[in-house]
């Protein structure tokens, strides 16, 4: 396939390109890992906070439009090791892991209306 010195040169160039690609991918992985680790925030809950509960049963039936988070619950009591008492709308209290919770932000929905008129260029 490759003859003599010319073939050895081509093989060494290919080997260098392969090693450069390997080093670049390793460097890219390190940079992205550092970026993601820097942007992770710790979730801390307090009593009377409103939270959403992750419903793992919805994971069994894949759907892009279905939310896997159940609507707002109020934190009733905090226990050690991440256990949390949550209170549903029907005043039912049950214990869940804090890993299954995320903060629910209460506020008025933003109602901005923008009218955009599109016309053909003249």
63-121 tens-digit pLDDT: 676 677 777 888 989 988 889 999 887 778 888 888 889 888 877 666 677 777 888 88
CATH code of the region 50-103:
2.30.30.140
**Rounded Cα gap, residues 56 and 38, in angstroms:** 28
Output the pTM of the full model: 0.53
Q: Which of 59, 95, 61 is nearest to 79 (CA)?
A: 95
**Rounded Cα gap, residues 49 and 74, in angstroms:** 6
**C-beta separation of 87 from 99 below 8 A:** no
Q: Where are the domains of the chain?
A: 1-40, 50-103
pLDDT in tens, 27-68: 999 999 999 998 887 788 888 888 988 877 666 667 676 677
Q: Distances from the Cα of 32 to the Cαs of 13, 26, 29, 35, 36, in angstroms?
A: 29, 10, 5, 5, 6
| pLDDT computed for residue 61 by the predictor | 67
CA angle, 92 then 72 then 80, to 5°: 65
């Amino acid at each position: 396939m490759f003859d003599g010195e010319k073939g050895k040169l081509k093989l060494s160039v290919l080997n260098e390109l392969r090693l450069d690609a390997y080093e670049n991918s390793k460097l890219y992985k390190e940079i992205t890992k550092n970026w993601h680790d820097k942007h992770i925030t710790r979730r801390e809950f307090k009593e009377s906070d409103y939270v959403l509960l992750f419903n793992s049963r919805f994971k069994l039936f894949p759907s892009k439009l279905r939310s896997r988070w159940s609507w707002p619950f109020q934190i009733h009591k905090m226990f050690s090791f991440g256990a949390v008492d949550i209170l549903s709308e029907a005043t039912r209290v049950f214990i869940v892991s804090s890993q299954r919770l995320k903060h629910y932000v209460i506020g008025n929905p933003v109602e901005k209306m923008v009218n955009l008129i599109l016309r053909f260029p003249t």
